Structure 1
């Protein structure tokens, strides 16, 4: 429950901060290391998806909430990245971090995406990954190691994602 309240506040504070003074890519993207914690979550298709079963692919975990404006703004851009790089070995998992999935399902019905959306209704996965802002994205290399964390979203951040995804895909060859 704390993460939901904190995340709403963080999303608002980040939005205010972005309006006041845009963060640089360096400030928003942090290098990570170490194995990505495994999890299994139910997807919007009803299927359970386990992170460890995606080993060998570059994976982006995008933590989002239906009440978060920047989250909704980046969804179609993430979908385009997913569709472009999925044939090369990239997958994107949108992880909705809300207790009640009704608003998320309504948003997806209105604005569908091709990538799997998972539901973290108890926030355990969000907490495991230390999500403290919405949206937050974690990039995982093809060996299952966390490599980058990107907090928040402003227009143009998709260029950062594209550069990171392409770099990680090159490492897999």
Structure 2
């Protein structure tokens, strides 16, 4: 009889969580109270909510489960992903903080998983998190083989593996983009967008589909970044030096078209890009095409001999992560990246594959 009463009490609580804890309206700044109801065997255990904002360190609130309950308070600038950790629980409970009040119910053997109410985004976020974890689980073996190929100098195997990984990353980006576009009004859709890497064109298209989040600080930050990258604008000038100490001024280059290629010499994706660009350079350089590779190094000491050890058949200069110059001016966040300029140094292409560059140059230089 007592067991039946306990089950009835639990069912009433879960009904209340599911149907009475309605999502609240989310401002750009808010405090969220997260309440939990847990299995009897977790009484007295430590529990912790870890929020993962887009910028800055994780936000953590820790407490002890008392009377099968625990309450956490998280102050956020904008909604973000989070997880609930319980001492002894095998897997963390993933959820999304997008409301002032969220309830999480975990009852052993009842439904087999946590029940989350008050968060409009948590179900979609859990789906995305599970899918992204699966994707990461598939990569380590290939990454390890890639590292071995690089160490042994087997560039053919390294490039083959990089092509495979690049294809997987493209599929992953497209899958994330589809999830975002299915429900663009969910806060988790914005978080997925702002925490993922997309090509310039894909990023621009997705950003224009997410005006709901214009009040978020991250929205304004990404908007400013996209303004820097906007095609049709004049590229910022720069003055850097080659390995021989020769100054390179962008404004002094007289070629019909200039590709600014941003790379890191240790990334296989950048090495592969340079391998393909060499064919493109041979084809179009006599027609007025120039490349300037900006090799991004950790610092000046680390990159001192890099330009002489890894020569390229075109202009090569350096920028440094500890004091970035043109990578910051061009809003470069990852590599490889590139910007195609016309003779007036107007940006006419961004983040283009070698195949896209080939097609565009074929059209432009045939005029």
Unaligned runs of 5+ in 1: 1-11, 152-156
- Supply the distance in 2 between the matched residues of 1:28 and 1:134 (Cα, whole angstroms): 15
Q: Provide the residue aligned with 1:27 in structure 2.
A: 202
- Supply the distance in 2 between the matched residues of 1:140 and 1:126 (Cα, whole angstroms): 16
When residues 108 and 58 of structure 1 are mapped into structure 2, their CA distance, relative to the original with a 3 A threshold, is same
Q: Provide the residue aligned with 1:18 in structure 2.
A: 170
When residues 138 and 169 of structure 1 are mapped into structure 2, their CA distance, relative to the original with a 3 A threshold, is same
- Corresponding residue SS for 1:113: coil
When residues 105 and 19 of structure 1 are mapped into structure 2, their CA distance, relative to the original with a 3 A threshold, is farther
When residues 39 and 84 of structure 1 are mapped into structure 2, their CA distance, relative to the original with a 3 A threshold, is same
When residues 45 and 170 of structure 1 are mapped into structure 2, their CA distance, relative to the original with a 3 A threshold, is farther
- Supply the distance in 1 between the matched residues of 2:173 and 2:329 (Cα, whole angstroms): 30
- Supply the distance in 1 between the matched residues of 2:274 and 2:297 (Cα, whole angstroms): 16
Contact 1:43 1:49 in 2 (8 A): yes
Q: Provide the residue aligned with 2:129 in structure 1.
A: none
Equivalences for 1:27-106 in 2 at 5 Å? 27=202, 32-100=231-299, 102=302, 105-106=305-306
Q: Provide the residue aligned with 1:128 in structure 2.
A: 329
Contact 1:25 1:160 in 2 (8 A): no
When residues 115 and 21 of structure 1 are mapped into structure 2, their CA distance, relative to the original with a 3 A threshold, is same
**Aligned pair 1:169/2:344, yes or no?**
no
Higher relative contact order (CA 8 A, sep 6+): 1
Structure showing greater Rg: 2
Cα RMSD, aligned residues only: 3.2
- Supply the distance in 2 between the matched residues of 1:91 and 1:130 (Cα, whole angstroms): 21
- CA deviations on 1:75-107 (whole Å, 9 max, x unpaired) are 121122122211101100000121336458458
When residues 39 and 158 of structure 1 are mapped into structure 2, their CA distance, relative to the original with a 3 A threshold, is same
- Corresponding residue SS for 1:119: strand
Contact 2:241 2:318 in 1 (8 A): yes
Contact 2:236 2:329 in 1 (8 A): yes
- Corresponding residue SS for 1:37: coil
Could you state the TM-score of these two structures normalised by the residue count of structure 1? 0.73
Q: Provide the residue aligned with 2:355 in structure 1.
A: 159
Could you state the TM-score of these two structures normalised by the residue count of structure 2? 0.37
